[in-house]
Amino acid sequence: MTRSIRVTVQWQVGQTLGLSSHLRLDTRRTRNDAIVSVEGDVDLTTFRAVESALDAAREGATVLVLDLREVDFMDTSGLRLVISEQQRAETDGYRFVVVPGSGKVQRLFEIAGFPGGHPLFADPPMESAGG
């Protein structure tokens, strides 16, 4: 039996600094898997919100998926977040995978030394393959 919980959170951050990053987070659970989908920018002003969503989704998950297909821009803050989560997964014994998304985001991973076939990357989960 598949259990799916959908939580959507919208963040408007950086306004006190005069920045206007858009971020939408959507978390879905199916059995012991959790999928955190991100829409917008993952940067210095938003990465903490993504980190919080991953922290909440990780609870009880054996597979944690970070879906970046709707990310328009990601800087090194987002890259650092992905690397930290990968290290945490290795230490705590769950599987962490990333759906890398746009060419810009994929290029950031390539520059950081993560080639396209790296085990960190996965195709979109079946239940979200339609978008």
Average pLDDT of 97-108? 90
Confidence of residue 94 (pLDDT cuts 50, 70, 90): very high
pTM of structure: 0.80
Architecture of the domain spanning 4-125: 2-Layer Sandwich (3.30)
- Is the pLDDT reported for residue 125 higher than 90? no
Residue written as token pair 């998304």: 101
pLDDT of 62 strictly over 70 = yes
Residue 98 has pLDDT above 80, yes or no: yes
Q: How far apart are CA 22 and CA 41, in angstroms?
A: 6
Q: What's the pLDDT score for residue 124?
A: 72
Hey, how many other C-beta atoms are within 10 angstroms of the C-beta on 11? 18
7-73-111 Cα angle (round to 5):
120
Per-residue pLDDT tens digits for 3-51: 444 544 444 444 444 455 688 999 999 888 999 999 999 999 899 999 9
Tell me how far apart the alpha carbons of residues 99 and 122 are, in angstroms, rounded to a whole number. 5
